[in-house]
Amino acid sequence: MTVIAETPTARARPPHRSSSVRWLLAATVLYLLVSVVVWWGIWSASPGSTSVCGCGDASRFLWFLEWPAFALTHGHSPFFSAWLNHPTGINLLNDTSVLGLGIPLIPLTLLAGPVISLNVALLLAPACSALAMFVLLRSLVRRPVVALVLGAAYGFATFVLDPAASGQLNLAFIALPPLMILLADDVIRQHRWPPRRAGMVLGLLVVWQFFLSPEILLIFAIVSVAGIVPLVVAVRADRAGEGALARSVGTAASWTAGVSVVLLAYPTWYYFQGPAHLSGNIWGPDAKIWRWGTTLQSLVWPTGSPYGGAIQKFFGGIGPVLPSYSYLGPGLVAAALLGLVLCRRDRVLQFALAVGGGALLLSLAPGTVWTPWSTLRHIAFLNNIAEYRFTVVTLLCVIVAAARAVDGGLDRLAELRPSLPSAGLTAVGAGLCAALLVPNVVTVAPVLPLATVPSTLPTWFRVLGAHLPPGQVLLTYPAPFSGLQASQAWQAKNAMRWAQAGVGGPAGTLARAGSVARGYRLLNDAAYLFVPSPQLISARVLDVRLAIHRWGVTKVVVPDQETLGPGARARSTAWAVGFFTTIMGRAPHRQPGAWVWPVTDPLPAVSESLVARYQVCQTHPDVPVASMLQCLAPRLTAS
């Protein structure tokens, strides 16, 4: 029984088992080799001490990979941690904690540390995504070479490479959606597995995707609901199969829902009601994460990432700006659309383009005309989705459509040239697929291999941070909520020997700073290089002191900024020492690689004369630290 009608020439032939294994092994090796080339800066150096920028989101994901190993060995919850944002802590399920990778990588993290785990995850993200697409395409096309080449188009698309360059594993690892579609296709069309088994496995994939990226899971759920309409239209073409389809889908859906509900009941409750959970717009009431939508031009023309310039300006020195997430390449788009003409009876191709087109509409940027997301983004919970990420669905669907078009075209060629050997068809298919990807390769090649830097601990954290006694809470400069989140990487590489005031990400926004918002803002502005340096008055000194007290800080640590890597350093060490000396009311202790203020209770009274003197001293922020302290010294004595 065929549920979705299709031409015999477009229908995939079940591959021979031994041939399938050989092709699967070949695809695995090929994709891993390409991924090694992408990350050559890591694997040609030292994978344990080289990675993507030790700053920003990369630092957060390094921390996220360390936490499950630390939680397992110290009896803590993998869903919550007070080692960041002390004492409130963070709900990791509300953040991009990628527990779906962190938990499987626990043995490697315990054995070799979080840097090597991050690098392995970055290596596997494009390779596994490509391999998953290869497996899906093998069930949809006759010729393995088509699946092999176009599988790479998915795994090494800019949607994967762009977030991977900044360590965003929640977006770079998109291996599960093709497998979900494979199982759904089996239930609806292929019928190789019993519906119950397919539903159970699909439920497990849903659970895994929840722990990788709830946002990506929600995007595919939304598109799946929207895709019911074209699916029903396709099914109506074969009324004889409607009853069998309903039974098959019902059984599979019941098992998928059952497995998902049972395994995700507690994590879902924890997400919405657990300790330190976030509600409303997770980036704050004024956040506008929807402003970076897709344009039709960006599908075929390599425009820069919509926020790449800002990241470059903020972090600096982490490599060139990559093309937009939504770039598919003119070859793939043309092949998919041409398939509508060449394969007019191919319902799979038509369905893929209908769903991909719907996802594209949802991804469109707000502008002078109405877009669907202009309305949907006002719905509770959906306002936390960045609409341009719907292009992951468009990417997947366009590749499926292109593969069906190429495979159908080869079938037509075989009919016209029956004497052409299968090896010749394979060569033609490989050449045609490769030609489709030429624009993609030309676009991505200049940014490869992706930029990497040494991932080393600053001197103070290497010498003293790893040996701090229990109960220490550090406020580092720059503070993690400033966006320069390198201190989270230092903490992870120090095996969580200390808790940290503040946190990056949605839990660390100004809107969630509460009663210490004024002190938070001052510390935040103190790190930004592209805003004027904050001025101190007595009231602002008290604001920062209140924050230090509420956070339970035991030490303020300013590492030598000049020794930090790109994207980790803030204003000069001398400026920071003058700033914190004025706030703490006393000179710091010089320790290896850093200036440290132990927090004692009570701190010296705020000195108006010291604050006034700071205004004079900080006008020359690039002087040696000793000169800054000498400038402040007379008023320190008076205080």
Report the amino acid identity of residue 169: L
pLDDT at 637: 54
pLDDT at 4: 43
pLDDT at 306: 54
pLDDT at 413: 85
Whole-angstrom Cα distance, residue 438 to residue 286? 41
pLDDT at 491: 96
pLDDT at 289: 65
What's the length of the chain?
639
Q: Could you tell me which residues come within 8 angstroms of residue 221 by beta carbon, excluding any fewer than 6 positions away?
A: none
pLDDT at residue 206 tops 80: yes
- Is 10 exposed, middle or buried (CB count within 10 Å of its CB: 0-12, 13-18, 19+)? buried
Q: Mind listing the pLDDT tens digit for each residue in 531-563?
A: 788 889 999 999 999 999 999 999 999 999 999
What is the rounded average pLDDT of the residues 196-208? 96
For the ranges 133-147, 276-290, 498-512, 621-635, which has the lowest average pLDDT?
276-290
What is the rounded average pLDDT of the residues 116-131? 97
Residue (of 574, 577, 589, 585) closest to 638 by Cα position: 585
pLDDT at 266: 97
- The residue whose two tokens read 């041409």 is 338
Which pLDDT band, with edges at 50, 70 and 90, does 638 fall under? very low
pLDDT at 282: 82
Q: Mind listing the pLDDT tens digit for each residue in 245-300?
A: 778 888 888 999 999 999 999 999 999 999 999 988 887 776 666 567 788 888 98
pLDDT at residue 12 tops 80: no
Higher pLDDT, 335 or 383: 335
Q: Mind listing the pLDDT tens digit for each residue in 341-370?
A: 888 788 889 889 999 999 999 888 777 577
Cα dihedral 161, 162, 164, 166 sign:
positive
Q: Could you tell me which residues come within 8 angstroms of residue 93 by beta carbon, excluding any fewer than 6 positions away?
A: 79, 99, 214, 267, 270, 271, 274, 277
Which pLDDT band, with edges at 50, 70 and 90, does 72 fall under? very high
Cα dihedral 101, 505, 480, 571 sign:
positive
Report the amino acid identity of residue 4: I
- The residue whose two tokens read 């391999």 is 131
pLDDT at residue 171 tops 90: yes
Whole-angstrom Cα distance, residue 597 to residue 556? 5
pLDDT at residue 530 tops 90: no
Count CB atoms within 10 A of the CB of residue 41: 17
Which pLDDT band, with edges at 50, 70 and 90, does 372 fall under? confident
The neighbouring-strand residues paired with 598 are: 555
Q: Mind listing the pLDDT tens digit for each residue in 30-61?
A: 999 999 999 999 999 888 888 988 788 899 99
pLDDT at 302: 84
pLDDT at residue 314 tops 70: no
Higher pLDDT, 455 or 555: 555
pLDDT at residue 379 tops 90: no
Which pLDDT band, with edges at 50, 70 and 90, does 229 fall under? low
Mean per-residue pLDDT of the chain: 87
Whole-angstrom Cα distance, residue 592 to residue 350? 65
Q: What is the pTM of this model?
A: 0.92
pLDDT at residue 429 tops 50: yes
- The residue whose two tokens read 């291999």 is 449
- By percentage, how much of the chain surpasses pLDDT 70? 90
pLDDT at residue 317 tops 60: no
Higher pLDDT, 623 or 94: 94
Residue 456 near residue 568 (C-beta atoms within 8 A): no
Q: Could you give the count of Cα atoms lying within 13 Å of 594 in the half-sphere of its Cβ? A: 25
- Is 97 exposed, middle or buried (CB count within 10 Å of its CB: 0-12, 13-18, 19+)? buried
